[in-house]
Amino acid sequence: MVCSVTAYGQKKNKKKEQATSVKQTPAPKPTKKSPFKKYSELVTEEAITDEGLFQVHSVGGKYYYEIPFDLLNADMLLVSRISKIAAGLGGGYMNAGSKSNEQVVRWSRVQNNIHLRSISFTNVASDSLPIQLSVQANNYDPILAAFKIEGFNPDSTAALIEVSDLFLSDNPALSGLSDNMRKTYKVRNLDRSRSFISRMASFPQNIEVRHDMTYNATAPPSNSRTGTISMEMSQSMYLLPETPMQPRLYDERVGWFTIRQIDYGSEALKSDVKSYIRRWRLEPKDPEAYARGELVEPVKPIVYYLDPATPEKWRPYFRQGIEDWQVAFEAAGFKNAIVAKDAPTKEEDPDWSPEDARYSTVRYVASTTRNAVGPSVSDPRSGEIIESDIIWYHNHLRSYRNRYMLETGAANPSARTLDTPEEEIGEMMRRVISHEVGHALGLPHNMKASYAYPTDSLRSATFTQKWGLAATIMDYTRYNYVAQPGDEGVRWVRMLGPYDEYAINWGYRYLPDANSAEEEKATLDSWIREKAGDPKYLFGGGNSFDPSSQTESVGDDPVKASRYGLANLKIVAPNLAKWTATPGDNYADLEELYGELIGVWTRFAGHVITNVGGVYEELKTTDQAGATYTPIAKSEQLESMKFLNEDVFTTPDWLLQKEILDNLEPTKAIQAIENMQSRLLSSLLRKDRLERMIENEALNGAEAYSMTAMLSDLRKGLWSELSGAKDIDAFRRNLQRAHVERLAALMKQDERRRSDVSAAARAELKAIQASSRAASSRYRAGIVQFHLRDIDALIDTLLSAE
C-alpha cells in the first residue's frame, strides 16, 4: 500500500531588511498544534466498540470508523436496502428488503482526509496498456463523501473518521427515495432531528449499518396527515475478493443475466463490448475427484435462509423449491451445491439479519402485491453473485389459486374451489420459489421452452409427469390448460426441465484448464453445438413477433393450444358462480375471477395473433447453418386468421353467463368484453406487424401471406353481417367502430413517412364505407341502420381530416 502525500514548500521572504536604531528581540516561535486528537480522546472508556472489517466505535452519540491503511483502495460492495418501509411506498412493488442501490466503493486518503468514492467498471483497459491512462482520465469516479481524519490508532496503522453525517444526511447514493418518488410524494427535505443511527456492527468481511430516515413530505403514500415519510435503511458494505472470480463470456444462445464492460484495450478497431454472465463462485472441494467425473461438494455452497416470518406450513415447500436445483447442479458436477436453512433464532445468533450481505434469504412479505421476484447482487468486475434475496409477496397465493381454477378446473376437480387443497397450493409455491431461485442463479426467462413440446403431448400423463409442461421452469408456463376432461393423471403444474440442467452446466461447470474467459469459449461453444437443432435447448427471451417465444403459452401449436384452452373455458364459465359461492359472502370473488377469466382468454387469443406476420427467431453464430429469422408459413397464418374471425372477433356468448352478469355491476362485464376485443384487434393491426408482412411479401412473393390479403380477410370477417343484412349485436357494433378507428390511427401513424400501410388502411376504410352505405338501406330504421350510417359519416370525416 502506497499513500501519496503532497508536500508544500514555503518560499522565503527576501524583502530587504529595513534599518533601525532599536535592537529587536525575535518573538518566540509558536508551538504547532497537531490537527489530530489522541486515540484515547476519541475512543474513550465509554466507547462501545465492535471489531471486524473495520473497528467501529460509538461514543456519546458519535460513530467512528477505524479504517486500516491496508484496506485503503480495496474494492467494497455497498448495498443499500430499505429494511423497514412506509405503507404504500413505491406503489406495491417495494417492500422491506428492497434494494435501492448497489455500487462498488473505495476508501482513499488524500492528505488529512479520507474520501469515499463510487467506482465504475463499465469502461476498462488492462493496467499494462497506455490507454488505461485515458480510461482513468475520462471516467473520473465521483466522491460520495469526504471525512476529516480525527486521529490514528495507537500503532498508526489505521485512521479514525466520524461517519455519523454519512448516514444522517440526504445522500442520494444511499437513499431509499428515488427522484421519481420524491416528486410523487412531494418530499421537501430530510428532517435530521427525526433521523438517527440505530445499529452499526462490524463483521470479518462486512459492516452493517441501520439508520432511520424521516422526510417532510406534502403527499406521503400513507398516514397523510402526518406529512411524513419514515423508513429504516440498511447499508451493507462487503469486502470483495482481492482476486476477482474468472468471468465467463456471455453467449446469447444460452440465456443468462449479464454484466457489461467496454474494453478499450481490444485489438479491434473500436472499443470492444464484453458481456459476462452473472453466477455464483462454485469451485470443487476435491478438484481431482471432480476431474474424474465424480460429484463433488463446492468449497462454498449457495445457502438460502428462510425468513422467520414464513408461515410454518409453507416452509417445506420453500425448502423444496430451493433444493430442486440440486439436480441441475449435479449436471455441472456439484452435489449439495444449493441448500435451504431456517434462519437462526435470536438466541442462536443475535446479530443475524436478512439485510446482512453475508446471507441470502427467501423473504416472506406481508403485502397485497401479487408477485414474487428473485433479485441478486453481483461483483461488477467479474459477474460473481455475492448474495440474493427472493421475495414472496403474501397475496401471490391468490393469483395462483385463481389461475389454477380457471385454467385447469374443466378437467381437474380439485381446482374447482376457492379452498384449494393445501398440498396443491404448496406445490405451486414450491415451483414459484424454484423459478425465482433460477433468476437468482443468473437465469432470465426462457419463453421458447414451452414450444419445445408437442401440444398434444401435454394431454399425456406419461409425458407430462416425466418432462413437465415446458423444457425449463424459467418459462411462464404455469399450468396445463391443454389437458381435456378425461385426460387422467396429467401434470397440472410446471417443474424443472432439461434446459435447466443444460444451462446450469453451461454456466457453472468448473473448467480448471482455462486461464481466462477467452480460453473457455471453445468448450462452451461446443456444448451449444452438441444440442443444436433440439428445441429443448433453445433460448428465447420473449418478443412481439416470435410465436415460439411467448409468455403464458404451452405447446408448439398456438392455434391448437388455444382451441383446447377455449374448450376448457367454455366449461369453466357456466360453473364459475357455483365454484366461487361462499354462504354469507358477497360476489366479490365471482367478480374478481370473472375478470381474470376474460384475461385468460385474452392471452390465449393473443398467442394466435402472434402467428399473423410472425417470424421465428433462432439465435445463431455466423458459422452455423440456417437462418436466424424465418417467417411463419402462409398456411399457418391463414389458419390463425380463421380462428380469430370465428372464435375471437365473434360475440363470445359463452362469456355472457346470466348467473354471473345478474350479480355484477351493470355494464361492467359488457365493457370488459368490449375492451378485450378492441385490444386484440389493435394488436392484430399493429404497424410493425403489417410492415413485417410487407417485407415478407417483397422477399417471398406468393409464398407469403400478404398484408392486403390479411386486411381483406379481417374485413370480410368483421363485417360479414352486411352481405345478408343479418342483425349486428352491440359487441359487433363496438368492434366495427374500433376497426374503423384503428385503420384511421394507422394512417395517422404513417403521416411522416408515407408507406403501403397508409395506402392499404385508406383502401380498407373506403371499402368499409361502400359496404356500409350500400347495406344501410337494407335494414329497418333502428340502431343497426343508425350504426351503419354513423360509420359512413365517420369515415367521411376521417378521410377528409387525413
- Read off the pLDDT of residues 611-625 as tens digits, 9 standing for 90 and up: 999 999 999 999 999
What mean pLDDT comes out for the span 527-549?
A: 92
What's the pLDDT tens digit per position in 433-471? 999 999 999 999 999 999 999 999 999 999 999 999 999
pLDDT surpasses 90 at 745: yes
In the prediction, which pLDDT does 122 show?
Answer: 76
- As to burial, measured by CB atoms within 10 angstroms (0-12 exposed, 13-18 middle, 19+ buried), residue 313 is exposed
Please tell me the predicted confidence (pLDDT) of residue 90. 82
Residue of 167, 169, 162 lying closest to 78 (CA atoms): 167
In whole angstroms, what is the distance from residue 451 CA to residue 75 CA? Answer: 44
d(CA 119, CA 679): 46
Q: Phi then psi for 160, rounded to 5 degrees? A: -105, 130
114 alpha-carbon distance from chain centroid? 37
Q: What is the pLDDT of residue 441?
A: 96
CA dihedral 576, 580, 585, 590 (to 10 degrees): -50
The backbone torsions φ and ψ at residue 24, rounded to the nearest 5 degrees and listed phi first, read -100, 140
Average pLDDT of every residue of the chain: 90
The pair phi, psi for residue 391, each rounded to 5°, is: -110, 120
User: How many whole angstroms separate alpha carbon 446 and alpha carbon 49?
Assistant: 49
Residues 727 and 656: beta-carbon distance below 8 Å = no
Q: Quick one: angle between helices 687-700 and 707-718, nearest 10?
A: 130
Structural domain boundaries in the chain: 47-239, 287-556, 557-692, 719-802
Residue 367 has pLDDT above 90, yes or no: no
> Residue 259 and residue 606: Cα distance in Å, rounded?
33
| CA nearest to 608, candidates 671, 519, 680, 706 | 680
Distance CA 777, CA 785 (A): 7
The strand pair at 360-365 and 272-277 is best described as unpaired
Phi, psi of 365 (to 5 degrees): -105, 125
The pLDDT-based confidence of 70 (bands split at 50, 70, 90) is very high
Instruction: Quickly state the pLDDT bin for 477 (edges 50, 70, 90).
Output: very high
The confidence band for 22, taking pLDDT boundaries of 50, 70 and 90, is very low
Contact 384, 508 (CB under 8 A): no
702-742 pLDDT, tens digit each:
999 999 999 999 999 999 999 888 999 999 999 999 999 99
Q: What is the pLDDT of residues 78-110, one digit of tens each?
A: 999 898 888 888 876 677 778 889 899 999 999
Under 8 Å between Cβ of 236 and 79: yes
pLDDT digits (tens, 9 = 90+) for 159-214: 999 999 999 999 999 998 999 999 999 999 999 999 999 999 998 899 999 999 99
What is residue 370's predicted lDDT score, i.e. its pLDDT? 72
- Rounded mean pLDDT, 139-157: 91
Whether pLDDT at 9 is above 70: no
Is the confidence at residue 25, as pLDDT, over 80?
A: no
Q: Is the dihedral of CA 589, 592, 598, 603 positive or negative?
A: negative
Residue reference for cell 362485464: 669
pLDDT range class, residue 6, cuts 50, 70, 90: very low
Determine the pLDDT at residue 28.
59
Q: What phi and psi values does residue 235 have, to the nearest 5 degrees?
A: -120, 115
**Spatial contact of 417 and 310, defined as CB atoms under 8 Å apart:** no
pLDDT at 581: 92
How confident is the model at residue 12, as a pLDDT? 37
Task: Please state the separation of Cα 605 from the chain's center in Å.
Answer: 25
pLDDT surpasses 60 at 21 = no
Residue 484's nearest CA partner among 424, 571, 589 is 571
Instruction: Report the pLDDT value the prediction gives residue 755, as an integer from 0 to 100.
Output: 87
Which tops the pLDDT comparison, 752 or 761? Answer: 761
**655 neighbors 673 (Cβ within 8 angstroms):** yes
User: What share of residues in the chain are helix, strand, coil (percent, to 5)?
Assistant: 40, 20, 40
Kindly report, residue by residue over 499-508, the tens digit of the pLDDT.
Answer: 999 999 999 9
Of the candidates 143, 161, 167, the residue with the CA atom closest to the CA atom of residue 234: 167
Query: What residues does 546 pair with on adjacent strands?
Result: none
Lowest mean pLDDT among 15-19, 386-390, 734-738, 752-756: 15-19
The residue-averaged pLDDT of 653-658 equals 93
Confidence of residue 605 (pLDDT cuts 50, 70, 90): very high
| CA nearest neighbour of 765 among 731, 723, 737 | 737
- Sorted by sequence, the CB contacts under 8 Å of residue 152 that are 6+ apart come out as 36, 39, 158, 159, 160
> 791 pLDDT exceeds 70?
yes
Q: Are 453 and 470 in contact (CB under 8 A)?
A: yes
What are the pLDDT digits (tens) for 223-279? Answer: 988 999 999 999 999 999 999 999 999 999 999 999 988 777 766 655 678 899 999
The reported pLDDT for the residue numbered 11 is 39
The three-point CA angle 66-72-75 to 5° equals 115
Closest CA to 251 of 623, 515, 525: 525
12 vs 112 pLDDT, higher one: 112
pLDDT of residue 141: 85
Residues 229, 187 contacting (CB under 8 angstroms): yes
pTM of the model: 0.88
Stretch 329-337: mean pLDDT: 97
**Cα–Cα dist 158/55, whole Å:** 10
Confidence of residue 14 (pLDDT cuts 50, 70, 90): very low
Average pLDDT for residues 466-490, to the nearest whole number?
96
User: Per DSSP, what are the bridge partners of residue 58?
Assistant: 48, 63
Distances (CA, A) of 564 to 368, 459, 476, 573, 582: 33, 10, 18, 15, 29
In the predicted model, what is the mean pLDDT of residues 654-668?
87
Residue 41 pLDDT > 70, yes or no? yes
Q: Is the pLDDT of residue 365 over 50?
A: yes
Model confidence at 573, in pLDDT bands (50, 70, 90)? very high
Confidence of residue 633 (pLDDT cuts 50, 70, 90): very high
